[in-house]
Amino acid sequence: MNKPARQRSGNKLPRSQRAGVTIVEMAIVLPIFFLFILAAFEFGWLNVMRHTADNAAYEAARAAMVPGGSVADGTAKANSILNIVKAKGATIKITPNPVTTATKEVTVTVDLPMSKNGLILPKFTKGTVLHSEATLKTERAE
């Protein structure tokens, strides 16, 4: 038969000292925990911005490739999609410029600096530029 282990009365801290230990542990762990939570939000937002930039590049290429489409149409479409998430400082480049009847394909690049588009703490994504590119063949008759 196993006997229960004896507890030494000298190892137990008084209630007031245990509360102090709990406060010290909380002071160490809580800032690290909140840092991880904020980083999760920031990187989640980075993912939203990346998908929005991808979608803006694709939709801008679609707007520019159709008959009668132009660089201005593609740029306006990309800006309207980026404005949905209030993106700032985006650079949109459409090649060739201008789009003519002889153009075979249209390429749109969208560069989005995360230093201007951070959600909570842009320190996590400082210096990151999201780059999206879409190339589509035109629908112009020869």
Residue 55 placed within a domain: yes
Distance separating alpha carbons of residues 43 and 119, to the nearest angstrom: 9
Return the pLDDT at 142.
59
Residue 24 placed within a domain: yes
Residue 8 placed within a domain: no
Distance separating alpha carbons of residues 28 and 16, to the nearest angstrom: 19
Return the pLDDT at 22.
82
Residue 9 placed within a domain: no
Distance separating alpha carbons of residues 141 and 49, to the nearest angstrom: 35
Residue 6 placed within a domain: no
- Asked if residue 101 lies in contact with residue 140, where contact means CB atoms within 8 angstroms, the answer is yes
Q: What total of structural domains would you count in the chain?
A: 1
Distance separating alpha carbons of residues 135 and 58, to the nearest angstrom: 8
Alpha-helical segments (H) within 7-119: 15-65, 71-84
Return the pLDDT at 97.
84
pLDDT, block means (10 residues), the chain with 142 residues: 57 66 88 89 89 95 88 93 92 88 89 86 78 86 60
Residue 34 placed within a domain: yes
Return the pLDDT at 9.
54
Describe the chain by its helix, strand, coil percentages, rounded to 5: 45, 15, 40
The parent domain of residue 64 ranges over: 15-137
Return the pLDDT at 58.
95
Residue 97 placed within a domain: yes
Return the pLDDT at 52.
95
Query: Residue 71's closest CA among 95, 54, 46, 87?
Result: 95
Distance separating alpha carbons of residues 81 and 92, to the nearest angstrom: 12
